[in-house]
Every structure is written in structure tokens, then in C-alpha cells.
Amino acid sequence: MRQTATTIRLDADLKAEFDKLCEEFGMSANTAFNIYVKTVVRQRRIPFQIETDPIDEVTERGRRAFWEIRRMAAENGTAGMSLEEINEEIRRARLGL
């Protein structure tokens, strides 16, 4: 199998900690990265959950409002509106029609 090199930039302290942990596992950091890449390719997904920081209240309220508007649009049959139809709705609302 032909191989290629990849460069990854890491915080020096994080890399040292990772190298030490890999050594405890009985493998090199290179082997650990190869295992990771093979798992991603085989499973066609990141093999662990990636999360963001907790969402603030304003963002959460906005997200809930968005999903409520989508639900209402689906109920009213307007969820599949074209861009032209949306722009016409906006124009009519601005004119107070």
C-alpha cells in the first residue's frame, strides 16, 4: 500500500499528553491516528459525538421560534414556497396588503 505523510498542528502540551497516553496503550501517535482515520472511512462518520458549548438562552429561543415557524408553514402548506413567492409575501407585508 502506497503511503503519504500528513502534518497536523497541535498544542505542544496536548501532543505530549497524547503521546504519553498512546505509549500507555502500546502504540504510537501515528498508529492512533491511522486507527482513527480507518474507523472514519469504514463507518463513514466521526466515531464519537461532537458537541458545541451549551447554547445560550437567546439562541435557544431563536431556534425554538424557527422550528415553530417551520411547523406552522408545513400546516399551512407554505413550507414549499418558491423564492419568488416568498419575496411576494414580503412585498405584500411591507405594503400592508
Q: Is the pTM of this model over 0.85?
A: no
What is the tens place of the pLDDT at every residue in 48-97? 887 776 777 888 888 888 888 888 887 877 667 778 888 888 889 899 87
Q: Is residue 2 part of a domain?
A: no
Give residue 34's domain range: 12-43
What pLDDT is recorded for position 59? 83
Residue 34 domain-assigned (yes or no): yes
In a domain, 75, yes or no: yes
pLDDT tens sequence across 8-33:
999 999 999 999 999 999 999 999 99
Output the pLDDT for position 66: 87
Domain count, the chain: 2
Give the per-residue SS3 of the chain: CCCCCCCCCCCHHHHHHHHHHHHHHCCCHHHHHHHHHHHHHHHCCCCCCCCCCCCCHHHHHHHHHHHHHHHHHHHHCCCCCCHHHHHHHHHHHHHCC
